[in-house]
Structure 1
Amino acid sequence: MAWIQLTLSSNEAHARQLGDVLMANGAQAVTYRDGKDAPIFEPGPGEVQLWEHTLVTGLFDAAHNMPALIKRLRQVRYLGADFNYKTDPLEDKDWEREWMDNFKPIQFADNLWVVPSWHEAPDPNAANILLDPGMAFGTGTHPTTALCLQWLAEQDLSGKTIVDFGCGSGILGIAALKLGAARCVGIDIDRQALIATRDNAERNGVADRFEVYLPTEQPSLAADLVVANVLAGPLQELSDVILAYVGDSALIAMSGILERQAEQVIQAYQPTINFAPQRQSEEWVLLHGQRQ
């Protein structure tokens, strides 16, 4: 089946409404893209964030009456009669197959890979995390997750107890367990994240060693290592909660932090944590250290 793609420029206030208009007029799917390369960070529970300048794209059957649709759109008050738009024909192809072909196993260290479910593991003897890119909550493709995975692969985790604070998909806890940790406790405010973590732990054969909790249910324990890939704001606000998991001489690694935010996060954890030099990928940093 052939398709045609209609792209319109909008703002944050009207982008969702415009997407609804396109769906009501026959769009098979609607996507939202940043029009000015501005970052969006992790939203709060139930919150939907869009960019100040948003490109709204509707996917239509190629036989759709596009002139009639454009005429109707000219009547939309917040677009105006002289709005700009672009149409692009899309060739018929197996989109699912093409999407799958774009994702290959990703290596984070000599002994650590993330492998999509449709691929063979390149190194069967390595710690291979079976996780499909594109799913929610983190799959290793973002610099913050990659920084944490690379750091974990360098640690001696044999027999250790780990806390994965803000566990998301469970990728960091699963990595720690596959790298030799004995137990992982995952904590997240999102019940869907806990479901994803349980499912991924089961797929990777570590569910019996991976416990998950909401913050209201979280147990008291002194871990050997804490990893928290969330955002700078929560890391600062919850520093007392996170530090309570860091046992004597235990290690901690934190990411989800922009370079300009690093010093504020460090201050929230000093003097309890003796920080090593920070690591950086693009504009993101990983802070790591040891409890004094």
Structure 2
Amino acid sequence: MNPAWWQIEMTVPAAMGEAVEARLQTAGAESVSFLEMGDDPVFTAGQLWESSRCQALFAQAPGREASLHALIEDEGWQPYQPTVQPVAEQDWVASTQAAFPARAFGRLWVAPGWAATPLGAAVLHLDPGQAFGTGAHPTTALCLRFLDAHIHGGELLTDYGCGSGILAIAALLLGAGQALGVDTDPVALRVAAENAQRNGVAGRLQLALPHAAPTPQADLLVANILAEPLVSLAPLLARQVRPHGRIALSGLLHHQEAAVRHAYAPYFALDPVERQEDWSLLSGRRTSGV
């Protein structure tokens, strides 16, 4: 018996995500989904992670399996370790919605449009799409919990490496007065602007590439990037936090904590590290005018 669907699955580098998605869609894909490597869904955002797992679903048609193998060959996708598999019929709407639940982070909920959330809660709406920023990944979750604990109302926040804008938008929904999102990827900034518009905070969020970004002294600065850039950016990020302001640094693994702590110790009184799974968040209060 013929299967109802065929699926291509492969690991796609961040820089190739948009091009691969566009090619799959022109080849007839009914849906294209990107997931973080630990199976967490990836929502609309700029890329922060080096690669994502791509799944593309095609309706059954004569010669479909052969045509998908030919597509992989023609596009040179063999290094992405693609697989082509038959998929049985199922309720795709129900299964997709089940894969993207609402998630709570203290006062804040991150949810797709169809998910129920408590009445009166602060809700950040994101729907599935390409790239990073659901709150599912431990580093994002650590940062969201930090914001829930430290946003009290009216703060100026900088989100350095903002990607989807999830952290800056979350801060504004929790009561921050203004936010600045900085990212090296123009696509990320475009998607962050779309997410801000959808969540009703576009008027309070400024977005910029690093070379064009203003350098306000923020009450709070969050940087959910990777350990190596965190270390090299320490003097720059420290200058962008006001005296007694707070910083939160994530995207680092446990074994990278010491290097990041050493880089920021001259500028901040650092808190005990927060950890979730293999990942860490280092935070602290600005102490020096250096």
Q: 1:97 to 1:135 in 2, by over 3 A?
A: farther
Of residues 62-71 and 279-288 in structure 1, the stretch that sits farther from structure 2 once superposed is: 62-71
1:100 and 2:97 correspond = yes
Q: Please, which of 259, 264, 281 is the counterpart of residue 259 of structure 2?
A: 264
Whether the 8 Å CA contact 2:47–2:132 is kept in 1: the answer is: no
Distance 1:163 1:70 in 2: 44
SS in 1 for 2:221: strand
Give SS of 2:168's match: helix
Within the alignment, does 1:213 sit opposite 2:208 as a pair?
A: yes
Structure 1, unmatched stretches of 5+, are: 38-44, 79-84
Aligned length: 264
**What's the CA shift string for 1:175-195, capped at 9, x where partnerless?**
111112111111111111111
Deviation at 1:49, TM superposition (A): 5.7
Shift of 1:206: 1.2
Deviation string, structure 1 residues 209-255 (Cα, Å, up to 9, x no partner): 11111101111211111011111111112112211111101100011
Q: What secondary structure is seen at the aligned counterpart in 2 of 1:154?
A: helix
Higher relative contact order (CA 8 A, sep 6+): 2
Q: 1:27 to 1:47 in 2, by over 3 A?
A: farther
Q: Which residue of 2 aligns with 1:202?
A: 197
Q: Which residue of 2 aligns with 1:247?
A: 242
Deviation at 1:156, TM superposition (A): 4.0
Which amino acid counterpart does residue 103 of structure 2 have in structure 1? I
Higher mean C-alpha displacement, 126-135 vs 259-268: 126-135
Residue 88 of structure 2 is matched in structure 1 by: 90
Say what the alpha-carbon RMSD is for the aligned residues: 4.1
> Is residue 279 from structure 1 mapped to residue 274 from structure 2 by the alignment?
yes
CA distance in 2, matches of 1:229, 1:65: 45
Distance 1:153 1:133, change over 3 A: farther
| Residue of structure 2 in register with 1:82 after alignment | none
Find runs of 4+ consecutive structure 1 residues off by over 3 angstroms.
4-7, 26-34, 45-51, 55-73, 85-89
Q: d(CA) in 2 for partners of 1:208 and 1:86?
A: 45
Are 2:1 and 1:3 equivalent residues in the alignment?
A: no
Q: Is contact 1:224-1:251 (8 Å) kept?
A: yes
**Identity percentage of aligned residues:** 39
Equivalence map 1:150-189=2 (5 Å): 150-189=145-184
Aligned 8 A contact 1:166 1:188 in 2 = yes
Alpha-carbon distance between aligned partners in 1 of 2:174 and 2:67, rounded to the nearest angstrom: 55
Give me the TM-score of the superposition, normalised by structure 2. 0.75
